[in-house]
């Protein structure tokens, strides 16, 4: 059942209509930020801020790696039928799979994520591919580092191996961060040249330009800008 919008029935005639989708991976996942109640609260706050109306909501317990989910499919069908916008609390509630998100992009269904409202079906494909490629690169660098360590005669195994793997992963992540910072610093310098000198104003410009953060988000914060400036 959908959530009624406040006010009289007439006040709902020209509001944006939403279909809400909620997902958790396990039935015990209810006490963190991805719990059902937390997702419902986030969606309710967002829809209220947009003066919109939730027509229907769908929820299920499924892994984010599964693309064939009955309730999500039902939500998408309802969006097409009622010409409504799909709303989720977080992007990963839809899928962590770039291929699925690209299919969603081509489905014609508009959607919005409460934590990244600037992301829509026209930009999500880019973000998904960047995030997936970054995960693949980290995995590849970690495997290469382990292979190189083994070639140097480093013993891999047991608790000591766990420590070495952790060290190598930290090193690979640090190198990935450095490469990302180098790729973005040119844009930041260009923004500074236009007169944006504060961390807040630079972050705002990066967000408006649609530049993705290293984690694939499109909303920048001053601390992220500061960290990049300090590292380059």
Active site residues: 25
The two structure tokens encoding residue 38: 């937390």
The candidate with the shortest Cα–Cα distance to 124, out of 23, 218, 224, is 218
For residues 99-128, one letter each, b for 16 or more C-beta atoms within 10 angstroms of the residue's C-beta and e for the rest, the string is ebbbebbeeebbbbbbbbeebebeebbbbb
Task: Judge whether 142 and 168 are in contact, CB under 8 Å.
Answer: yes
> Pairing between strand 111-113 and 85-88?
parallel
């Amino acid at each position: 059942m959908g959530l009624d919008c406040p006010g009289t029935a007439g006040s709902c005639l020209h509001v944006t209509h939403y279909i809400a989708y909620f997902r958790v991976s396990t039935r015990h996942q209810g006490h963190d930020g991805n719990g059902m109640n937390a997702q419902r609260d986030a969606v309710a706050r967002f829809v209220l801020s947009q003066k919109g109306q939730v027509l229907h909501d769908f929820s299920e317990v499924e892994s984010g790696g599964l693309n064939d989910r009955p309730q999500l499919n039902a939500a998408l069908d309802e969006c097409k039928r009622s010409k409504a916008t799909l709303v989720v609390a977080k992007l990963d509630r839809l899928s962590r799979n770039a291929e699925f998100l690209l299919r969603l992009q081509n489905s014609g269904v508009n959607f919005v994520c409460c934590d990244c409202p600037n992301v829509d079906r026209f930009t999500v494909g880019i973000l998904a591919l960047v995030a997936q490629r970054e995960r693949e690169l980290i995995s590849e660098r970690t495997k290469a580092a382990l292979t190189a360590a083994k070639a140097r005669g480093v013993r891999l195994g047991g608790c000591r191996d766990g420590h070495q793997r952790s060290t190598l992963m930290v090193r690979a992540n640090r190198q990935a961060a450095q490469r990302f910072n180098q790729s973005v610093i040119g844009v930041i310098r260009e923004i500074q040249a236009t007169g944006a000198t504060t961390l807040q104003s630079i972050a705002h410009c990066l967000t408006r330009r649609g530049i993705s953060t290293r984690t694939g988000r499109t909303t920048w914060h001053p601390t992220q800008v500061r960290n990049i400036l300090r590292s380059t």
